[in-house]
Amino acid sequence: MKTGDQIVQELPWRWSVQGRIFIIGGLGYLFDAYDIALNGFLMPLLGAHFDLSLSARGLVATANLVGMAVGAVAWGAVADRIGRKRAFSVTLLIFALFSVLGALAPNYPVFLGLRFLAGVGLGGCIPVDYALVGEFSPRKYRGRVLTALDLWWPIGVTLCGFVSTAMLPLEGNWRWMLATMVLPALLLFWARRGIPESPIYLTKKGRETEARQVIDDLVARTGAPAEPYVIPEPVAASGPRGVAAAAEQLGRVWKFSPRITSAAWLLFATIMLVYYAALSWLPSILKEEGLGDTAAFMSTTLMSGVGILGVLVSTALVDVIGRKWLIGVSAPIASLALVVFALVMKMPTGSVVTIAVFGFLMQLAIPALYAYVAELYPTPLRASGFGWASSVSRALTGFAPLLFGSVMWPVLGLPVTFAVLAVAVLVAVVWMAVAAPETKGQALDGAGGDPSVPAARTVAEQAPL
pLDDT of residue 99: 87
* % of the chain beyond a pLDDT of 90: 32
- Position 246 scores a pLDDT of 65
Check residue 457 and report its DSSP letter: S
Element housing 2 (H / E): strand 2-3
Over 80: is that where the pLDDT of 88 sits? no
Task: Render pLDDT for 155-212 as a digit per residue (tens, 0 to 9).
Answer: 989 999 999 999 999 988 999 999 888 877 787 778 777 788 888 778 878 889 999 9
Asked if residues 399 and 351 have their Cβ atoms less than 8 Å apart, the reply is no
The whole-angstrom separation of Cα 228 and Cα 35 is 45
3-state secondary structure of 3: strand
What pLDDT, on the 0 to 100 scale, is given for residue 450? Answer: 41
pLDDT at res. 453 = 38
Residues 122-164: tens digit of each pLDDT: 776 766 676 678 778 887 777 667 667 778 889 989 999 999 9
| pLDDT number for residue 315 | 81
Average pLDDT over residues 341-350: 87
pLDDT attached to residue 461: 35
Q: What ranges do the domains of the chain cover? A: 1-228, 241-465
Average pLDDT over residues 15-24: 89
Confidence grade of residue 456 (pLDDT, cut at 50, 70, 90) = very low
Question: What's the rounded mean pLDDT across residues 404-414?
Answer: 82
Q: Which residues contact 303 (CB under 8 A, 6 or more apart)?
A: 278, 279, 282, 355, 356, 358, 359
The CATH code for residues 241-465 is: 1.20.1250.20
What is the tally of helices (H) and strands (E) in the chain?
A: 20, 2
- H/E stretch holding 73 reads helix 54-82
Task: State mean pLDDT over 338-358.
Answer: 90
* Phi-psi group of 241: left, alpha or beta (phi > 0 → left; psi -120 to 50 → alpha; rest → beta): beta
**The pTM is what?**
0.79
Looking at residue 447, its pLDDT comes to: 46
pLDDT, residue 127, reads 64
Task: Give domain 1-228's CATH number out of 2.40.50.140, 1.20.1250.20, 2.40.30.10, 3.20.20.150.
Answer: 1.20.1250.20
Nearest to 172 by CA among 60, 297, 286, 45: 45
Q: Measured between alpha carbons, how far is residue 192 from residues 195, 344, 465 in Å?
A: 5, 46, 20
Give the chain's mean pLDDT: 83
Give residue-wise pLDDT tens across range 285-328: 888 877 778 888 888 899 989 999 998 898 888 888 888 999 99
State percent of the chain over pLDDT 70: 87
Side chain identity, residue 253: V
DSSP 230: E
The pLDDT, as a whole number, for residue 68 is 80
pLDDT, position 240? 61
